[in-house]
Structure 1
Amino acid sequence: MAFTDRSLPAREAILGAARTRFATDGYDRATVRAIAADAGVDPSMVMRYFGSKRQLFARTAEFDLRLPDLTEVPPEQAGRVLAAHLLDRWDGDEALQILLRTAATDDDAADRMRAIFAGQLAPQIATLTGDPDGAATRAGLVATQALGTALCRYVLRLPPVVAMTRDEIVTWIAPTLQRYLTGPP
């Protein structure tokens, strides 16, 4: 659907309100009416511009992990570089937090999360290790650590994990990521 330049401010207000509402309430509890009210528009505009709540969520959750090229760092540093990068991404990207909250209860969001790790991380691991057959397994294991850390820090807000500095978390999880990236099975 083509939009006029006049619709851009309304669409951006809806997207901003949706990001905030999904992050605060989660996918299931967020309503189109509440998002529209937060954006200062009629609910019909949300449907007109985005089609459905699910499509609106998908637009708010579009992102790229922007992974560093792990083949350009010393192989023994890949876990540390990846841990630091992923933590920075979680800290700086509200869409990742929205997707994490929603993936626990929504199959489409869970599919999206799986696709992100498989599609963006597995190819790098295949290049890094020279083992394309094992890359998906390694990417899945990296995801367990990354998503577990993010869940505990940003969703469950476990006090010891929330209290840790970025560098402390990196120090703790980097060896595990290193083993998943380059260690023996």
Structure 2
Amino acid sequence: MRPRDAAATEQALLDAARARFATDGFDRTTIRAVAADVGVDAALVIRYFGSKQGLFTRAADLDLGLPDLTGVRAGDLARVLVDRFFAVWEDDPTFLALLRAATTSEVAAAAMREVFTAQVAPALAAVTDDRPAERAALVGATVLGFALARYVLRVPPLVAMSREDAQTWLGPTLRHYLLD
């Protein structure tokens, strides 16, 4: 029998969980299904993560990688944000898993709120003069609404929209929320 690589097994479980949460949502994802995807016993998932919620919390650990916005010209803020959000939406499976799960699970919704509270709000507060909480909430609502419609609901015009067109449509709204 070949010894297991604990770090590789843990990573494989996290990858499988992200895929399951992205396709099935939080409620329909089971520990057994995640374990089966990796070829291990469900007890091993419990040993690593303690519970389904523990697995989700680790799998949904999302770093938006927002740049320091204090050096960005005011007129460029919306473009920089939209570009960064597109990179997260399309390159990080964690985001889609979290977004899809947040529509059906309070645990996931709380995790999504935490991402915005810990990452987006402070980044935007650094570049807004007044009402940073409201501005961050409106930016968050706009980009999450777009992401939900494009990636989860798959609204055809938004799915077909290029990044450049999305920038054209979203940019003025985000600029308004950030600067006006």
User: Aligned residues, how many?
Assistant: 178
Corresponding residue for residue 107 of structure 1: 106
What is the CA-CA distance between 1:71 and the residue it aligns to? Answer: 1.7
Alpha-carbon distance in 2 for matches of 1:119, 1:11 = 26
Corresponding residue for residue 152 of structure 2: 155
Aligned positions of 1:89-108 closer than 5 A: 89-108=88-107
Alpha-carbon distance in 1 for matches of 2:24, 2:124 = 35
* SS class of match (2:65): coil
What is the CA-CA distance between 1:29 and the residue it aligns to? Answer: 0.7
8 A contact 1:21–1:35 mirrored in 2: yes
Letter of the 1:29 counterpart: R
* SS class of match (2:158): helix
Corresponding residue for residue 87 of structure 2: 88
Alpha-carbon deviations, 1:44-73, whole Å to 9, x = none? 000111111111011111021111222211
Alpha-carbon distance in 1 for matches of 2:46, 2:150 = 33
Aligned positions of 1:1-185 closer than 5 A: 6-131=5-130, 134-183=131-180
What is the CA-CA distance between 1:19 and the residue it aligns to? Answer: 1.1
Alpha-carbon distance in 2 for matches of 1:126, 1:34 = 41
8 A contact 1:118–1:136 mirrored in 2: no
TM-score after normalising by structure 2:
0.94
Q: Which runs of 4+ in 1 moved over 4 A?
A: none
Give the aligned CA root-mean-square deviation in angstroms.
1.5
Letter of the 1:8 counterpart: A
Residue identity over aligned pairs, in percent, reads 50
TM-score after normalising by structure 1:
0.91
8 A contact 1:19–1:94 mirrored in 2: yes
Alpha-carbon distance in 2 for matches of 1:15, 1:125 = 30
Gap regions ≥5 residues in structure 1 = none
Alpha-carbon distance in 2 for matches of 1:44, 1:19 = 18
8 A contact 2:124–2:136 mirrored in 1: yes
Alpha-carbon distance in 1 for matches of 2:39, 2:128 = 51
Letter of the 1:57 counterpart: F
Alpha-carbon distance in 1 for matches of 2:23, 2:55 = 15
Alpha-carbon deviations, 1:96-117, whole Å to 9, x = none? 1111011111112111111211
Letter of the 1:168 counterpart: D
